[in-house]
Amino acid sequence: MNLELNDKVVVVTGASRGIGRAIALGMAAEGARVVAVARDKTALDKLVTEARARSKKDAVAVGADLSQLAEVERVVEEARRAGGGRIDVLVNNAGAIRGGGFLDMPDAQWLNDWSLKLMGYIRMARAVFPIMKAQGGGRIVNVVGAAARNPTATYLPGGAANAALVNFTKGLADLGAECGILVTAVSPAATRTERWDQLMEQQAKAAGKTVDEMRATAQAPYKLGRIATPEDIADVVCFLASARASFITGICITVDGGATRGVYA
Ligand code: NAP
């Protein structure tokens, strides 16, 4: 299958590790020109070297803290310049919402974590939208955790932000449809990354369990006998960004190995 991602300018946020890194490398394997964004410039530079080797195209690392509006605007300007005026695909993926007990969680934690995962996605989409509109279209793919539809008392900021982003994805897709911008979301369930390990530690503490107990409880619904790899998620993101998904917009695809109960999820 030809995804027609060759030469496309693809911005991936949170590309220094985990799911974002796998997406950036997946796009590079399809010949895309990757613009990789995160704070850890050393990790990004390493990724960019790997991406160039795969794509045989240029790839660019942009170090930035995406919880800040000014940084978002700088990133989009640098990406646009690197792409010769184009941004074909935006993958919103950078997120670091912490788990914890509701009554112990300070106000600042909610605001801080939402400024990246929620406002970071919204601001990036708002900044690339006029560029995509002017060039006649584009793709925005939001990585939105399955916590959107699966509330957990020890991960309320994550559940609420992700639920908002599913709604945002659908509403923005209506606006984008008028100008050829398709907006979709991919919803990973548990995925083996550093973040997953941190979440298990935070949630175990809040629930008064050991990390092993928490992990066993969280992984029990996965009938395939494993949780997702970052590449499982990256493959679906690449597909949605591709020419082979030209009639798909406004939806959120769950990638959970069948773990979610309910046939409409
Ligand atoms: P991860 O391994 O912790 O990676 C998170 C990425 O976000 C890193 O590249 C990190 O890079 C970047 N990031 C964090 N804070 C940032 C900031 N202020 N500005 C710019 N970049 C920032 O996480 P992951 O597991 O791959 O998760 C990726 C996305 O998938 C997240 O949005 C997460 O909510 C979602 N998700 C994950 C899972 C899971 O089980 N792992 C499940 C559902 C959804 P730097 O530290 O270098 O900035």
User: With a 6 A CB cut-off, is 227 part of the ligand 1 pocket?
Assistant: no
User: With a 6 A CB cut-off, is 41 part of the ligand 1 pocket?
Assistant: no
Spell out the residues 6+ positions from residue 26 whose beta carbon is closer than 8 angstroms to its own.
231, 234, 235, 237, 238
Given the residues 121, 155, 222, 264, the one annotated as active site: 155
pLDDT in tens, the chain (265 residues): 999 999 999 999 999 999 999 999 999 999 999 999 999 999 999 999 999 999 999 999 999 999 999 999 999 999 999 999 999 999 999 999 999 999 999 999 999 999 999 999 999 999 999 999 999 999 999 999 999 998 999 999 999 999 999 999 999 999 999 999 999 999 999 999 998 999 899 889 988 999 999 999 989 999 998 999 999 999 999 999 999 999 999 999 999 999 988 776 5
Distance CA 113, CA 219 (A): 25
pLDDT number for residue 262? 79
Helix, strand, coil % over all residues of the chain, rounded to 5: 50, 15, 35
φ, ψ for residue 57 (rounded to 5)?
-125, 170
CA of 130 to the centre of ligand 1 (A): 26
CA of 100 to the centre of ligand 1 (A): 17
Q: What is the CATH number of domain 9-190+228-255?
A: 3.40.50.720
- Domain edges within the chain: 9-190+228-255
pLDDT number for residue 261? 83
Spell out the residues 6+ positions from residue 128 whose beta carbon is closer than 8 angstroms to its own.
11, 76, 79, 87, 90, 138, 140
Dump pLDDT digits (tens) for 72-130.
Answer: 999 999 999 999 999 999 999 999 999 999 999 999 999 999 999 999 999 999 999 99
Residue 120 vs residues 46, 75, 106, 107, 247: alpha-carbon distances, Å: 24, 11, 21, 18, 26
pLDDT number for residue 265? 53
User: With a 6 A CB cut-off, is 19 part of the ligand 1 pocket?
Assistant: yes
121: annotated active-site residue: no
State pTM to two decimals.
Answer: 0.96
What residue's CA is closest to ligand 1, atom 35? 145
Q: At what angle do helices 194-207 and 211-219 cross, to 10 degrees?
A: 110
User: With a 6 A CB cut-off, is 112 part of the ligand 1 pocket?
Assistant: no
What residue's CA is closest to ligand 1, atom 23? 195
The Cβ of residue 178 has, within 10 Å, a number of other Cβ atoms equal to 8
User: With a 6 A CB cut-off, is 99 part of the ligand 1 pocket?
Assistant: no
Terminal CA-CA length for the chain: 27
φ, ψ for residue 92 (rounded to 5)?
-85, 115
What residue's CA is closest to ligand 1, atom 21? 38
CA of 136 to the centre of ligand 1 (A): 30
